[in-house]
Chain A
């Protein structure tokens, strides 16, 4: 890997420098700030997402990754203390119209949410209704977002469940969320988001509960979605293996700020910020314990001042 070129950018005081995609973005977030009372959850964050691009957001737990995506969905204000205090979020609709997701009227947001922009939430149980079967919930999505009839939706549900590798889909469709394993629930939620055929998909830790083989399937499905629909994907994850596998660009967050952004190869092979380096060096590598019998402490890299 050639390390002489540095197109990975350190975000500085003059405002974030962005490495643009080669196409005009579908979503352009600029100077986004979010507060919960006196807690600044997101501070001056900017990024673009272009068609067929996967932007991975990585970083510290509690650094504002999920709140950033809630802001895009305009769900921050659902919490009584939450408020978007600054910034614009320009979204290009299929019609070509540009709307600012921060100020768009709620009626318009309702047509955007779940249709143009859909989200896989971090905790799958929170987006499933415990009193309806998963088949019912998937069918509802197909009827509302794709205008399917009851009959068509029933068939569509089985197809969707097969695509996310849920065995015995006909029987499983009748199960309630609590009767499925954690990873199956996660896959139901992914299937719902895929069914919406969005222009932007926000996936918040979509593969945390999945084993590596099913994870690979989900990544392949997401890749197919973006290529077929020219969609953009925001992929929030702690799993650097997944980032390496699917991301085109990476945004690193820490303490509510975006501290570094760039193409995935640059971030992995030529990280600029101490925190990014620390994050990458803490990734355990399979095989690193070869030749030993007992568990071993992780080596914790002390971070130099950033």
Chain B
């Protein structure tokens, strides 16, 4: 198997006031193979977006290495990164914030192609129109500005933009969360088909376990900055070993009002990745259960 992305012992923290530090990503190691989807799941604030940003080299890790297609990109500067960015696209968690409000969306989606001079202007326009149709928008929408769309339509514009350059890896951060189930199914099918056709790889961040179950080959479960369980999707879903993974599976809502559960308000201590500057969380040890199914020793 060719590894597209390989991340080793990646660490990233942020300083807070009063000599405290957020251990957002703490010694994270994983890889994504060619034509593979690795899903990243876990509690809100556990470090998923930070991992995604680091993998894209939008941020620099405090330590550890990031390799893209066998090239170490950990230390590269903006200029040197540009050549690699073409293989790497990101769909951001917050679609509105990632779209330039002063540009029409047809231009936003076509710009990566213009920057890379991969096609003539008329080819670009027809490619953009094609992408719009694929994500369930119409070619007429190309002349509109981002604010003229609904939340889910904006998210689809971001998806179309990520697809323009036929990248090798797409980092998708909650990329389909604003779509209705039927449009979402269409978009996810498109993503699966593109993977099969072009050997595309995905790092797929999502809190929707039912979606992850459909689309992922492997799953990594994060808790407070660390991976606590990782392995083939079938193993992790059918035989979850870590207590946090098990809790996650049990809490998934069931789409049937007759099975409604009364849920009490939780109170008491909230687990936190914040530590005094000279301290930090205990690092977990991962045990291999076979077939690449890793579980943190509890």
Residues of A whose CB lies within 8 Å of any CB of B are 1, 36, 58-62, 65-67, 79, 122-126, 162-163, 165-168, 171, 174-175, 179-184, 187, 204-205, 208-217, 219-221, 224, 238-245, 247, 264-265, 268-269, 278-280, 282-298, 300
Contact = CB atoms under 8 A, between A and B. Distances in A.
A241 B254 CA distance: 5
B247 A126 contact: no
Contacts of A125: 94, 96-97
B255 A243 contact: yes
A127 to B, nearest CB: 11
Interface string B177-214: 11111111110110011010000000000011111011
A278 B93 CA distance: 27
B265 A184 contact: no
Contacts of A211: 41-44, 207, 248
Interface string B156-169: 10000000000000
Contact of B255 (A124, A162, A240, A289): A240
A282 B185 contact: yes
A187 to B, nearest CB: 8
Given A123-B151, A279-B180, A291-B234, 16 more contacts: A60-B180, A61-B151, A167-B274, A171-B18, A182-B94, A187-B44, A208-B174, A239-B253, A240-B255, A241-B254, A242-B253, A244-B254, A268-B257, A279-B182, A293-B232, A296-B192
Interface in B145-162: 147-153, 156
Nearest to A182: B93
Contacts of B251: 212-213, 216
B245 interface: no
A179 B20 CA distance: 14
B122 interface: no
Given A285-B210, A288-B213, A61 B259 contact: no
B1 interface: no
B209 A209 contact: no
Contacts of A179: 14
Contacts of A243: 255, 257
A286 B180 contact: no
B265 A217 contact: yes
Given A212-B209, A240-B255, A241-B252, A66 B189 contact: no
